[in-house]
Amino acid sequence: MSQASQPLPKPIRFLFGGLSGMAATLFVQPLDLVKNRMQLSGEGGKVKEHRTSFHAIAKIMRSEGFIGVYSGLSAGLLRQATYTTTRLGIYQMLFDKFTSADGTPPSFIKKAAIGITAGGIGAFVGTPAEISLIRMTADGRLPVNERRNYSSVFNALYRITKEEGLVTLWRGCGPTVFRAMVVNAAQLASYSQAKQFLLSFEERFRDNIFCHFCASMISGLVTTIVSMPVDIAKTRIQNMKHGEYSGVLDVYAKTIRSEGLFSLWKGFTPYYARLGPHTVLTFIFLEQMNLFYRKRFM
């Protein structure tokens, strides 16, 4: 077996999976913040705080400064350390398990099932960090006397547990897990098809980083359209203070009634702008870490 095809030790796969996601988050955290602010803008029939993503960025920079666009960074990093570590680690383990002895990879259906399983488990593990991220990125939009003022993700986890109970850390877990399963299924199918389509233009595309980037952006568009309604329900449930919603369907009913059907895709631009690059950066960092480890230790 060649060095490049040798599987990395399982602990290293989990470690590199988390580190690659955390590295990508350093670049896209401001887009996560804008997406969350956009999804909460106009909630409950209130006047919309942000007309567009660019208006949101300008307002955040003006009122909270440059550091403000990185609010909740510690929660974003912990989310990647939990969610992405688990998701990529389990995906690789299951992928290897279902790869035949002669090296034939799993079928497309099995790949999709593996992705859905890994995404669902990862989302459950990452929900406490997710709810901390939602609250920390949303805090700056509230009046000063209503802000939660978490100093870090660990302070958020401690205070949520103390003030609202341990179970609150998994509030919105259902839509979070469902979103992760939808995202993984949509990403896998659309990325595979987009890459296959692009490579059919042999004179323009090769199987390289540029092709991966283009396929990821196409995949991101499809995934964004499919998963945003689930994401906005998750965001609003996890951010609520006084039980404003009884569940996902209640979020949809109230949101559509007061803000219109297309409000389910509010924050589309930053969501899409985040999803594609984050996927590309995660896998670029992951491949480079894998390459470094193989060269140095294998």
Q: What is the pLDDT of residues 247-261, one digit of tens each?
A: 889 999 998 998 889
Q: How far is CA 209 from the centre of its chain?
A: 21
Q: What's the pLDDT at 185?
A: 78
Q: What's the pLDDT at 1?
A: 46
Can you tell me the distance from the alpha carbon of 201 to that of 212, in angstroms, rounded to the nearest whole number?
A: 14
Q: How far is CA 228 from the centre of its chain?
A: 11
Alpha helices, H only, 139-172: 153-164
Q: What's the pLDDT at 46?
A: 67
- The class that CATH gives domain 3-297 is mainly alpha
Can you tell me the distance from the alpha carbon of 132 to that of 161, in angstroms, rounded to the nearest whole number?
A: 11
pLDDT tens digits, 95-119: 888 888 887 878 878 888 888 998 9
Phi-psi label, residue 42: left if phi above 0, alpha if psi -120 to 50, beta otherwise: left
Q: What's the pLDDT at 77?
A: 96
Determine the average pLDDT of the residues in 112-131: 92
Averaged pLDDT of the chain: 86
- For residues 75 and 106, the answer to whether their CB atoms sit within 8 Å is no
Distances, alpha carbon 18 to alpha carbons 12, 79, 297, in Å: 10, 9, 20
CA angle 7, 13, 18 (to 5 degrees): 160
Determine the average pLDDT of the residues in 266-280: 81
Q: What's the pLDDT at 115?
A: 84
Distances, alpha carbon 185 to alpha carbons 61, 110, 144, 210, in Å: 35, 11, 40, 23
Copy the structure tokens of residue 227: 């998963």
- Amino acid identity, residue 159? R
Q: Is the pLDDT of residue 206 over 60?
A: yes
Can you tell me the distance from the alpha carbon of 286 to that of 188, in angstroms, rounded to the nearest whole number?
A: 17
Q: Is the pLDDT of residue 197 over 60?
A: yes
pLDDT top residue among 43 and 157: 157
Query: Who's near 76: CB < 8 A, 6+ residues apart?
Result: 25, 29, 32, 133
Determine the average pLDDT of the residues in 213-227: 85
- Under the banding of pLDDT at 50, 70 and 90, the label for residue 57 is confident
Q: What's the pLDDT at 45?
A: 62
**pTM, 2 dp:** 0.78
